[in-house]
Structure 1
Amino acid sequence: MKISVSFTLLLLLGSVPASEGVECQRAFPEDIYAALRETTASLVQLKADVTLQTTEQAAQLKTEVDKLKQQQQEQATQLKTEVDKLKQQQLVRQVAFSASLLAGGQVAYVGPFSAHTTLIFKNVVTNIGNAYNPTTGVFTAPVRGAYHFEWTVSTPADNSHASGAVLVKNSENVFLAYEDQATGSMTSSKAVALFLDVGDVVFVRVWANTRAYDDPGHHTTFSGHLLFTM
């Protein structure tokens, strides 16, 4: 029985062509190589996709971080601006000045002139906030608000000319202090409350064909101070 089975197997093996046997032997390894190539390609593509996604996420994250940094910087700048503004407002609330016409105990007349002429009050007693300029005689408002000003113009008993001085806001004459009499010394004073915006200027002009007098008694003066901000 065993001999007949073995003989039958030998007959079957002998009936299979040699080329088909080789093809069967080669088909299995070639399928593995194709699968490996496909898997490798898939892995490469996956790696590329992951790398691209990671790069995009990193770029997006960097953009968000840069945006947050920019916002923080803008907030810090805005906060500093507000703090500086508050400090400036605190400083400019302290505005007051007072000055007389001539410094050094001089005795002199200013005027008369054919046109209104700015008086320069050189003897500065107080200048808190440095808003008054003793070189030009001009007060410049450092902050928007209401201000109070007073000015006095004087001339002695020589009655050849009247005494007059007008307060000017920017280019507008506001109030005139004026005195003219036949005998005796003359002194005239005025006061006014003005609304000023930042940069507005206020000064005093001696009126045309009048004069102002000053001596160590400081008779001709100009003063002002901030009442409140607005």
Structure 2
Amino acid sequence: MEISVRFNLLLLLGTVSQSESNDCQQTFPQDIYAGLREITSSLVQLKADMTLLQRETKEQAAQQKTEVDKLNQKLQVRQVAFSASLLAGESATIGPFPSHTTLIYKHVPTNIGNAYNSNTGVFTAPVRGAYHFEWHFAGEKNRGSAGWLVKNSQKVFAVYEQQATGFLGVSNGLTLLLEVGDVVFVRLAASSVAFDNFNHHTTFSGHLLFPM
């Protein structure tokens, strides 16, 4: 059997001319090299495409993060509300003063958006919109309690109360259209007093109703 296979192989080789054998030897390697070059070129192009895709993906992710951050900032800006009382817990009567005096409300349990400044008593509008404010004064008998809510330098609404006996209280409220940077604060009238203690009678509150 082995002798027969060898004989057939010799016959087959004998039928192939020398020139055909050389052509086969020359063509076959060239085909391999051409195929390798095509594969290499495809791999290079694929790598370039993957690099470009990764860059575009990173840019899109960065852009989306920026947009999300902007939306979060806008949402935070639109969340504005505060409430403050005149004193943190001690009992005291503020005033009378020889001139109108801005009240500084020190106890601030709520200050969403940080638009109220407990060092100055001033609220600064962070966004254009409609804001609602309320303020309450407590006082002592025979000593009037009076003041105004002030927008920038303009007196807007006032409160006043005086009585001969008992504990007095007075309050007011309003809605204002504010531009970005407008300030609002409460001013105690000259020769007036405001009383506060741990019950927090004298207060100043406000919140954004809606942006415009």
Which range, TM-score by smaller chain? 0.5 to 0.7
Offset of residue 208 of structure 1: 1.2
The answer as to 2:76 corresponding to 1:91 is: yes
3-state SS of paired residue (1:113): coil
Distance 1:200 1:128 in 2: 17
* Paired residue type of 2:190: A
**Structure 1 segment 20-169 matched on structure 2, within 5 A:** 85-103=70-88, 105-157=89-141, 159=142, 161-169=143-151
Offset of residue 166 of structure 1: 0.8
3-state SS of paired residue (1:87): helix
The answer as to 2:209 corresponding to 1:224 is: no
Distance 1:115 1:78, change over 3 A: farther
Offset of residue 156 of structure 1: 2.7
Distance 1:151 1:80 in 2: 41
* Paired residue type of 2:133: F
Deviations 1:173-203 (A, max 9, x none): 0111110122221111000000001110000
Equivalent pairs, count: 154
Q: What is residue 48 of structure 1 aligned with on the other side?
A: none
* Paired residue type of 2:195: Y
Q: What is residue 4 of structure 1 aligned with on the other side?
A: none
In structure 1, the gaps of 5 or more residues are: 1-72
3-state SS of paired residue (1:91): helix
Q: What is residue 210 of structure 1 aligned with on the other side?
A: 192
Q: What is residue 3 of structure 2 aligned with on the other side?
A: none
3-state SS of paired residue (1:94): coil
3-state SS of paired residue (2:71): helix
Offset of residue 117 of structure 1: 0.2
3-state SS of paired residue (1:151): strand
Distance 2:165 2:100 in 1: 24
Deviations 1:125-157 (A, max 9, x none): 100011001011000001000000000011133
TM-score, length basis structure 1: 0.62
Offset of residue 88 of structure 1: 2.2
* Paired residue type of 1:120: I
Higher CA-based Rg: 1
The answer as to 2:165 corresponding to 1:196 is: no
Offset of residue 168 of structure 1: 0.5
* Paired residue type of 1:87: N
Distance 2:81 2:99 in 1: 29
Offset of residue 209 of structure 1: 1.1
Offset of residue 227 of structure 1: 0.1
In structure 2, the gaps of 5 or more residues are: 1-58
3-state SS of paired residue (2:134): strand
Offset of residue 222 of structure 1: 0.3
Give the stretch that moved more between structures: 196-205 or 181-190.
181-190
Distance 1:210 1:164 in 2: 6
3-state SS of paired residue (2:73): helix
Distance 1:197 1:81 in 2: 26
Query: Root-mean-square deviation (CA), in Å?
Result: 2.2
Question: Percent identity among equivalent residues?
Answer: 64
Q: What is residue 30 of structure 2 aligned with on the other side?
A: none
